[in-house]
Amino acid sequence: MLKIERKHLQNEITPDATGHLALQRASKFSIAEQRTKANDQDHCSFKNNVQNRDDIYHANFGPFKLQSAFQPIYMVTPDNLSLFAFEALVRPEKSGTMVVPSVLFDPSANYNLAELDRLCRTIHIRNYQLLQNDNATLFLNINPAHFDNAGSIETELKYLISDLAEHKIPASRLVCEIIETKAVNDEIITRLCNGLREIGAKIAVDDYGSDHSNWRRFELVRPDVLKLDGLVFRNLCKTPAAVPALKNLTESLHEIGCILLVEGVESRNQFDIAIAAGVSLIQGYFLARPKKTAQQFPMIPTAPFLPGQNKIHHSQVFRPTISFNELSGPIQ
């Protein structure tokens, strides 16, 4: 499902029900610190797998070496693009050769996928903190299929809080992407999102329009950010309905305090369509490919021109002009 009707938004999700959850300005990092004190000891052995080499953190997991890669997410303003956030992605190696993440997260593997997923987040947070920037937002993937009860969710929150507190990163700078896999049940999704919001993190629905990232998932998560699936977006761009459909979706989401992020932007035409539709956040190879450390990004990424305007004037790569907390109202 691509189009979200306004009447559905008004009837199913009211501003009163979601406004205070969508984009909270006050960080609840103190709650995170309180929980962390009681839960550090059993996390120590887990974090011993993480190593620092050449000022880049990586981890070993069985035959795999896990490394972080970061892809920038840009915010569109009336006259430029501003680097707003990084999505953290895992880049695994096996026997010195890069392998695709699907090999690492093979469901038939005889190791604990939840623990693997958690270890990936740990190294991502450590590499992210090397940016030493108070404004850059971090997008982290969370697989809901790895939770089967309330205890498994509490364990995940414990580890996440510990990692954030260790590096003095407020949870308000974190956006947790609920990926498109199937959850055990709806209650797991609700508990997970409530727990993440309690510690101050924001929530995104990843790859909307594919697999289980559908309207039902949207209702359960009530996200702060909706990431439209890249393939869905690129197929839509082949039709005359692309701009009006995206514009309708963008405006409908803004009415309930949710922001549309279009990922998988791979061409100038797709970029122009997103701009014309009023999309606020854009991600894709056309702008920048993932790199193993965010410090490697050039000051001026590869985005050429906004339609009808001169060359884009980019902010400093670690200095986005708008912080996440400023997105509580409609974006003009």
**pTM (2 d.p.):** 0.77
Q: Mapping DSSP to helix (H, G, I), strand (E, B) and coil, where does residue 270 land? A: helix
The pLDDT of residue 11 is above 80: no
Can you spell out the DSSP letters for 126-171? HHHHTT--SS-EEEEEE-GGG--SHHHHHHHHHHHHHHHHHTT--G
Q: Which residues contact 260 (CB under 8 A, 6 or more apart)?
A: 225, 226, 228, 246, 249, 250, 253, 279, 280, 281
Which CATH architecture best describes the domain 6-327? Alpha-Beta Barrel (3.20)
Q: What is the mean pLDDT of residues 106-135?
A: 84
Task: Give me the pLDDT at residue 30, please.
Answer: 44
* Half-sphere exposure for 121 (CA within 13 Å, toward CB): 25
pLDDT number for residue 7: 40
Q: In the chain, where are the structural domains located?
A: 6-327
Q: Which of 59-73, 111-125, 247-261, 312-326 is least confident?
A: 312-326
pLDDT of residue 70: 92
pLDDT class for 319, splitting at 50, 70, 90?
A: very low
Identify any residues that bridge with 138 across adjacent strands, giving them in sequence order. 86, 174
Mean pLDDT of 288-312: 54
Task: Provide the 3-class DSSP secondary structure of residue 52.
Answer: strand
Residue 125 has pLDDT above 50, yes or no: yes
- Taking only the tens place, the pLDDT of each residue in 126-146 is 999 887 666 789 999 998 888
What's the pLDDT at 184?
66
Beta 97-98 vs 80-94: how paired, if at all?
antiparallel
Instruction: Tell me what percent of the residues of the chain surpass a pLDDT of 90.
Output: 39
Which stretch, 1-15, 208-222, 239-253, has highest mean pLDDT?
A: 239-253
For residue 171, how far is the Cα from the chain centroid?
13
pLDDT tens-digit map of 58-85: 888 888 999 999 999 999 877 778 888 9
Sign, CA dihedral 273-74-26-217, equals: positive
Contact indicator for 81, 74 with CB cutoff of 8 Å = yes
- Residue 237 has a pLDDT of 95
What average pLDDT does the segment 36-62 reach? 66
Q: pLDDT confidence of 2, banded at 50, 70, 90?
A: low
Spatial distance between the Cα atoms of 20 and 209, rounded to a whole number of angstroms: 26
**How far is residue 105 CA from its own chain's centroid?**
19
Q: Which of the four pLDDT bands, split at 50, 70 and 90, describes residue 161?
A: very high
Average pLDDT estimate for 2-19: 38
Mean pLDDT is highest, among 31-45, 107-121, 292-306, 309-323, for 107-121
